[in-house]
Every structure is written in C-alpha cells, then in structure tokens.
Amino acid sequence: MSQDTIYSKQQNVVDFVFDENVANVFSDMIRRSVPGYESIITMLGVFAEQYVQDSSNVYDLGCSLGAATLSMRSRLLHKNCTMFAIDNSVAMAERCRQNIGLQQGPEVNVSCADIREAKIESASLVVLNFTLQFLPVENRTALLTNIADNLLPGGALVLSEKITFEDAGECALNDGLQLAFKKANGYSELEIAQKRSAIENVLIPETLGVHLERLKSAGFSQAQVWFQCFNFVSIIAIK
C-alpha cells in the first residue's frame, strides 16, 4: 500500500479530485483519515450475509478501489447474485477492476459511470460508503429515491457519511477528535490544513437529522445509525 504524501509539501491547493495520484494512495489515505473505515468495511460483509437475496443485485456506488465490494463478496451466502461496482473516476474504476480480478467469487460488473445515472434494479443491498457526500446536495434525494424504488422487499441501503452538527460545540468537539485521529496516523499540520482546504468545496457534509429525514422522504420506512465514530456515521435504511 503506497503512503499518502499528496499534501506533505507546501503547494497551491486546488479542489480535490479522484485522479491517478489519489487512486495510487487511496487505501492508505482513507484508512488514516476516516475513523472506523476498516470496521465499516468488515461489517459490510455481515450486512451482505444478512440482506443479499438469491438471484438479486448488489450495488457498491462510488466503489473507489472496491474494498466494500470485496468485503461483501467474501461473505455472500447466495452465489448467483450479480454485483455492480460503479465509480466515475477512471483511475479508481481501473484499479477496482484489477483488485476484483485478483479474487474468486460471484460476478462483479465494474463500470466507470456517474451513480446519478445508475440503473438500479432488483437490488437486495445497496452501499453508499462515503460517496453521497460528494454529490451536489440537490441531487441526493433523487439518487436515494431511485435506490428505494428499486430495492426488493427486505432489501437494505447502507449509507456512510461524514456529518456536521447544528451545535457549534458538538461540531468543534468532533472535528477536533478527527484531527487528533489524523495526527495520530502521522499526518502533519500542513498536510491536514492543505487537505482540508482542497476538500472544502467538494465534500459537503450534512447533519444526521437531514440524512434521516431525506431517507424517510425517499421512501425508506426505517433508518438508524448502526455505527458512529466522531463525525463519521453509517446508517442502515430499510424500505
């Protein structure tokens, strides 16, 4: 796994993009930046065991290098389902295809495409693992409605997001803890500051309340947080 040193040198910071440089170091970057990432990836295997149905489809939307897909695939009880891993970054989709090819298992259809255009059908499990936060806010309800409309009875959505808080104190507390987590993982003050300004206009976090309300209005009857570490949450939503 290559180490993320993208923001280690002083630079003119531009908006963050998921390009070749990021794809090269992504595994290291996300593990050192998102508290709980590895636990969530492991648990996605448990969700797959619990929710994936016979002859159904499984979607990993914003799949990056395919970590979520691989975790789910390793624990599928029904081998005759089809998995779809979608990412609109060419570099990510290419590497994802290579990573998936290294392991045996049910068919995975990897595509380089915009998840806002995704055709979702007969889905028993859909995963948005830290991806919705990168869509323009005005596009989020339509995607969740598309997912809810095309989930099979008994199907589920797992939505993981960085969140913000209405209360300024709560916001500062959780931001501070994430900062401490990044420092503990070897990121310098300069790296943290430069990454923060690169991502500022690209990753738009919302409050947990906004997410839960949106899930309800998109057609999910039940939505609850199953994981939280500081300002990162994962929600399970059932139709």
Ranked by CB distance to ligand GEK, the top (closest) residue is 62
Maximal C-alpha separation, the chain: 52
CB of 59 to ligand GEK, least distance (A): 11
Residue closer to ligand GEK (CB basis): 80 or 202: 202
Which residues, 77 to 116, sit near ligand GEK by CB under 6 A?
A: 86-89, 92, 114-116
The reply on whether position 18 binds ligand GEK by CB under 6 A is yes
* Identified binder of ligand GEK from the candidate list 51, 130, 187, 220, rule CB under 6 A: 130
Judged by CB, which is closer to ligand GEK: 34, or 223? Answer: 34
Q: What b/e sequence results for 105-123 when a residue is b if at least 16 CB atoms lie within 10 Å of its CB, and e otherwise?
A: eeebebeeeebeebebeeb
| Comparison of 24 and 216: residue with beta carbon closer to ligand GEK | 24
Which helix or strand (DSSP H or E) is residue 50 part of? helix 37-51
- State the Cα–Cα distance between residues 160 and 126, nearest whole angstrom: 11
Task: Determine, following the binding rule CB under 6 A, whether residue 68 of this chain makes contact with ligand GEK.
Answer: yes
Note whether 131 binds ligand GEK by CB under 6 A: yes
Distances 41 to 56, 71, 103, 132, 177 between C-alpha atoms, Å: 21, 6, 17, 17, 21
Strand ranges for the chain from DSSP E? 57-61, 82-87, 108-112, 123-129, 151-164, 206-207, 222-229, 232-238
Give 80 or 98: the residue with its C-beta nearer to ligand GEK: 98
The CB-of-212 to ligand GEK minimum distance in angstroms stands at 21
Q: Which of 48, 52, 58, 63 binds ligand GEK (CB under 6 A)?
A: 63
Instruction: Choose among 10, 33, 11, 7: nearest CA to 21.
Output: 7
Residues contributing to the site for ligand GEK (CB under 6 A): 18, 30, 62-64, 67-68, 86-89, 92, 114-116, 129-131, 134-135
